[in-house]
Structure 1
């Protein structure tokens, strides 16, 4: 993932993010959603 902070933060989840991924020829609506958590070690120190 080139920019791990690109997904929208889901409120009330402690930092989970949602990202839509387009399928070939279908755009974002025909694609998939990915839910992920990005732990930034630089900010935790």
Structure 2
């Protein structure tokens, strides 16, 4: 059984890319939620 390093590297890059996208999206969503909460609170 031979390891295809290109395929493994591709999977690693895709996983890292998706984790970065998720963290940026999560931070953006939390920022918007905090802004809305700040505007709604007296």
Compute the TM-score of the two structures, normalised by the length of structure 2: 0.23
More relative contact order in 1 or in 2 (CA 8 Å, sep 6+)? Answer: 1
Higher fraction of helix? 2
Higher fraction of strand? 1
Structure having the higher Rg: 2
Compute the TM-score of the two structures, normalised by the length of structure 1: 0.22
